[in-house]
Amino acid sequence: MTTSPQPLIRLEDVKKVFYTDEVETHALAGTHLSIAPGEYVSITGPSGCGKSTLLSILGLLDTPTDGNYWLNNRPVAELSPSERARIRNREVGFIFQSFNLIGDLNVYENVELPLTYRGLSSAERKERVTDALERVGMAHRAKHLPSQLSGGQQQRVAVARAVAGQPLILLADEPTGNLDSKNGEAVMDLLRELHQGGATICMVTHDPRYARYADRAIHLFDGRVVKEEIGSIIGTEEPAEVA
């Protein structure tokens, strides 16, 4: 008898409330979520439903107002600020819609920068950066500045920067949002290749075409998970309601 692996990510009744001028905004209102190692999950929903807030909490960029979050079987609430920073640097890879590349660093230096904070030797950094750039097809552009690249190429560099750290999970926030359809599909194909190579991916997207690349689609509405779709049925059949 086989047993299911421990979830890499587990949220139980997570809430997030923002307070401004005596107004309460409930970005997340009791979210439950579990992501297994090696799974590819997309998070979809209308603007303002809590997608990016959820991703920020998963990536330890923000903290829940209430509820419990376990990352790799560790209660996140018990982590000190320095431990959270270490985990963000070593165990979480971020891919942003706006690429977030540093304009006066070339491609190689952009990918290498997060590794310098780990104290890795120059030889190990070189090996990781070179391998990551080769995986995304950008090794030939290592000396170029971001301004010399197309949007699709910049996003490939951003993906390389994320995977060079060999993270437990890749978090992608609208990774195709600033790309045309051709470059968007190319980036999605790249993420699928990384997933097939064993990467765990959690991606926020508003585009149902790209949600179909995932094993499972989580639909948010008003800060709650309201529907889930699995595998080949994503976007093709009526999804199951979540009680």
DSSP string of 110-131, one letter each residue: HHHHHHHTTT--HHHHHHHHHH
Burial of 150 (0-12, 13-18, 19+ CB in 10 A): exposed
pLDDT value at residue 242: 46
DSSP string, 223-234: TEEEEEEEGGGT
**Does position 235 have pLDDT exceeding 70, yes or no?**
no
Contact predicate 35/29, CB 8 Å: no
Q: How many degrees, rounded to 5, is the angle at CA 139 between CA 141 and CA 129?
A: 115
Contact 227, 240 (CB under 8 A): yes
Question: How far apart (Å, rounded) are the C-alpha atoms in residues 48 and 52?
Answer: 9
State residue 4's pLDDT score. Answer: 57
Average pLDDT, the chain: 90
> Is it the case that residue 2 has pLDDT exceeding 50?
no
Residue with tokens 């139980």: 12
Task: Check if the beta carbon of residue 15 is closer than 8 Å to that of residue 64.
Answer: yes
Instruction: Over range 192-204, report the average pLDDT.
Output: 93
All domains of the chain, ordered by start, with CATH? 9-241 (3.40.50.300)
Q: In what order do the strands lie in the sheet with 9-20?
A: 23-35, 9-20, 66-71, 74-75
Separation CA 42–CA 219 (nearest Å): 8
Across 44-57, average pLDDT: 92
What is the pLDDT at residue 117? 86
Q: What Cα–Cα distance (Å) separates residue 142 from each residue in 44, 131, 145, 184? A: 34, 12, 8, 21
- The CA distance from 166 to 144, in Å, is 24
Q: Does the pLDDT value for residue 200 go beyond 60?
A: yes
Task: Give the tens place of pLDDT for each residue, 107-161.
Answer: 999 999 999 988 889 999 999 999 999 999 999 999 999 999 999 999 999 999 9
Q: Which residue has the higher pLDDT, 195 or 231?
A: 195
Predicted pLDDT at 240: 43
| pLDDT surpassing 90 at residue 22 | no
Average pLDDT over residues 9-29: 91
Cα–Cα distance, 123 to 201 (Å, whole number): 28
* Residue 241 confidence (pLDDT) above 50: no
Location of structure tokens 């779709």:
229
Q: What is the DSSP letter of 236?
A: T
* Confidence (pLDDT) at 209: 87
- Residues 159-177 have a mean pLDDT of 93
Tokens of 36: 């297994």
